[in-house]
Structure formats: C-alpha cells, structure tokens
Amino acid sequence: MTTIVKNNWKLIIGIVLVVVVVSSYLFSTSNLQTVSTIPSLLEQENKELLARNTALNSKILDLKLSAESLQEIINGKDQQIYHLKLALDEKVNRINNFSILELERFFARLKADSLPH
C-alpha cells in the first residue's frame, strides 16, 4: 500500500509539473507576443498623435492670423469712432458757444416738417 501511495504522489507531482510547464510555455509565448505588439501599437499611436498635433498647430496658426487681422480691423474702427466723437464734440462746443442771435440763424436754416394742427 505504501508503494501505491508513493506512486500516487509521484503521479500527482508529475501532473502538476506538466501543468506548470505547459502553462508557463503558453503564457510566456503570449507574453512575448504581447510584449512585441505593444511597442508597435504605441509607435502607431504616437505617429497618429504627432500627425494630429501638427494639424492642430496649423489650425492654431491660422486662428492666430485671423485674430490679428480682426484686431487690426477693430483698431481701425476704434480710430474712426474716436475721430467721429472729436468732430461731434467740436460741433457741440461750437453750437454751445453761440449767442442767441447765432442760435436763431442756425435753427432758421433747418427745415422742419410741420403739420397743420
């Protein structure tokens, strides 16, 4: 009976060793395949990200040029507004300094539509 038990232990240890060897072989080859595919996937993703980054940089440059152009237009319009305000202020000040006689002459030359009451 001790011989059978010893043989059973040997059989169990043999089966365990075979399972360990086979599983380590399977996992080691899949790990090698995974390890070899990961860098290529990362390289591909890196290339895609570089291309996307280049496209975004180009778009940023276009938007900066558009912003500068719009800022120039805004500055020109601000200058026009400033000069119009100066001209208006000069006219208001000139009219404000009119005497009563000058005011009557100024308003006499204006034509107004008057409706009969």
- Residue 115 counted as domain residue: no
The rounded distance, in Å, linking the Cα atoms of 85 and 92 is: 10
Find the radius of gyration of the CA atoms of the chain.
Answer: 46
- Residue 53 counted as domain residue: yes
N-to-C CA span, the chain? 137
- Residue 11 counted as domain residue: yes
The rounded distance, in Å, linking the Cα atoms of 3 and 14 is: 16
The rounded distance, in Å, linking the Cα atoms of 58 and 95 is: 56
**What pLDDT does 8 receive?**
74
* pLDDT tens digit sequence for 68-113: 999 999 999 999 999 999 999 999 998 889 898 888 888 888 766 6
Q: Which of 113, 75, 109, 106 is nearest to 92 (CA)?
A: 106
**What pLDDT does 117 receive?**
54
User: pLDDT grade, residue 33 (50/70/90)?
Assistant: low
- Residue 67 counted as domain residue: yes
- Residue 48 counted as domain residue: yes
- Residue 114 counted as domain residue: no
**What pLDDT does 16 receive?**
81
Q: Which residue has the tokens 């000058």?
A: 102
- Residue 117 counted as domain residue: no
**What pLDDT does 85 receive?**
97
- Residue 60 counted as domain residue: yes
Q: Which amino acid is at 114?
A: S
Angle (CA) 106-108-109 rounded to 5° is 75
* pLDDT tens digit sequence for 35-66: 567 788 889 999 999 999 999 999 999 999 99
| Range(s) of the domain holding residue 58 | 2-108
| Number of domain units in the chain | 1
pTM of the model: 0.48
Q: Which of 101, 81, 78, 77 is nearest to 89 (CA)?
A: 81
